[in-house]
Amino acid sequence: MLALVSLSLLSSCDKDDDHGNHSGEYKGPEVMVHDGKAWSSVTLDEDGVPTAMTISIDDAALNSVPIGTGGGGTHQHDNSVILPFHDDVKSVTPFKYIGLDYNPDGHEPAAVYGLPHFDFHYYLMDNAERLAIPAYEVDSSKFKAFPAPDYLPANYAPIPGGVPQMGTHWIDVTSPELAGQTFTQTFIYGTYNNNVTFYEPMITLAYLKTEPVFTRSIPQPAKVKESGYYPTEMEVHKHLEQTDITLTSFIYREAK
């Protein structure tokens, strides 16, 4: 299996913007993903407010990732890369970087999420702290240390266990795939050590290859622990030779 670990920078962190008011799209470094590439970008309006936070994957990457046997798998760290943000926009939201993770055999629970799919982790925690998360079997205490209910959306419940270098995953119990429909896309929250640690669109490879134009709302918690701009919608859009997964419709929220 080809690994995605070569975090090669194919270009500098170019910024297409208006230097006077800092508006525009700030593109992060391109990262190798099998035979293609992926990158992050953040778009700001004239007031410096984020309007979009995007993962872009080119067709060469989508067409070269491996396809599993269909037997169901686990989270594959050898099919993971980090997509850094452009230096000038690393502090405009509470999100610090993106983890792009591909699962050729899906992952647990296999009966629901056993299809080849991407996990797009928008992380709220430092990378060094994330990398230090142990296997659940080694130390489960911080996996089980959940935030107060107000910091997670209603109808979200934890998947039993936890994933090293990620944390505990929370699913929307009203999602169609949990009612017997075929999994195409869903929205996950992550926690560890009493904190929400990531937002995660999870989307199948097959669905991305249908070239969707898709928008959905992001379930919102009643409270956040860190003040800042948070997204309320997610979009998937194919254009030219790339597919964009975008968090958008940001609102400012005060910590409570």
For the chain, how many helices (H) and strands (E)? 4, 17
Tell whether the model's pLDDT for residue 21 goes beyond 80. no
What is the C-alpha to C-alpha distance for residues 15 and 188, in angstroms, rounded to an integer? 30
The tens digit of pLDDT for each residue in 220-234 reads 999 999 999 999 999
Interval 138-151 mean pLDDT: 99
pLDDT at 8 over 50: no
| Rounded to 5°, angle at Cα 157 from 154 and 158 | 145
Q: Is the pLDDT at 194 greater than 90, yes or no?
A: yes
157 pLDDT exceeds 70?
A: yes
Question: Domain segments of the chain: what residues?
Answer: 15-253
Over range 201-220, report the average pLDDT. Answer: 96
Average pLDDT over residues 133-149: 98
pLDDT score, position 153: 99
* List of residues 6+ apart from 107 with CB closer than 8 A: 72, 73, 74, 75, 76, 113, 114
| Structure token digits, residue 110 | 């296999």
Tokens representing 159?
A: 């998947």
Residue 71 has pLDDT above 90, yes or no: no
Give the whole-angstrom CA distance, residue 76 versus residue 17.
36
**DSSP per-residue string spanning 132-169:** T---TTT--TTTS-PPPGGGS-TTEEEPSS-BTTTBEE
DSSP β-bridge partners for residue 201: 187
Pairwise CA distance, residues 148 & 26, whole Å:
35
